[in-house]
Amino acid sequence: MTPVSSAFDRRVAPGGALAEEAARIALVCRAMALRFADGGRLLVFGDGGGSADAQHVAVEFVHPVVVGKRALPALSLSHDAAHLTAVAGSLGFEEVYAAQVRLLATGKDIALGFSSGGRRAAVSRGLEAARERGLLTIALVGEAEDESGGGPVADHVLAARSGDPLVVREIHMTVYHLLWELVHVFLDQPEAAR
């Protein structure tokens, strides 16, 4: 097998596994749409590459690239360096998202946390704080975290079935694009939410 074919082959099984999760992803999207319809907002966060994904998700929801789709309130908790370093300095890095959730969130909101590899204490604590406040919680994790049970605890845990962190992030990107698209389907076609 050549390195080029190997690069493609590493993505085949995780992509197929994602397709098998269609019903669960649709369930998550329906739950998100109900929260948005009730005035909720999306709070997104992650460490490392997950922080970039959080910013990408927030932009997708706030400024849809598809003309005619409504903007939905979303905020990346990963983007404010001053806030992150202030909280990290006084409470510890593991509290950077939990502190923001406790300050900004209402029970109508949605928390989406990214943890693509290894246990991320800040992401886990952010999701724990969100659950304590009654938010709908969603974790996008890698295969190792899901199988070990060491990943974040959330109402919905969607795992990329790969041990390769690059492939995990690629699967996560596909998932959050599906979340965006199907949330709009449920909002635009309320009968579909039934």
The reported pTM is 0.92
The secondary structure of residue 133, as a DSSP letter, is: T
Taking 50 as the pLDDT cut, the residues of the chain under it are none
User: Using an 8 Å Cβ cutoff, are 1 and 9 in contact?
Assistant: yes
Predicted local distance difference test score (pLDDT) of residue 68: 86
Cα 48 from Cα 39, distance rounded (Å): 30
How many other CB atoms are there within 10 angstroms of residue 3's CB atom? 6
What stretch of H or E contains 160?
strand 156-160
Number of domains in the chain: 1
pLDDT at 118: 59
Distance, in Å, from the CA atom of 102 to the CA atom of 126, rounded to the nearest integer, reads: 9
The pLDDT value recorded for residue 194 is 61
User: Which pLDDT does position 8 carry in this prediction?
Assistant: 85
Structural domain range at position 14? 3-193
User: What is the distance, to the nearest Å, from the Cα of residue 26 to the centroid of all Cα atoms in its chain?
Assistant: 14
The CATH number of the domain where 50 resides is what?
3.40.50.10490
Q: Do residues 114 and 140 make contact, with C-beta atoms less than 8 angstroms apart? A: yes
The pLDDT of residue 147 is 56
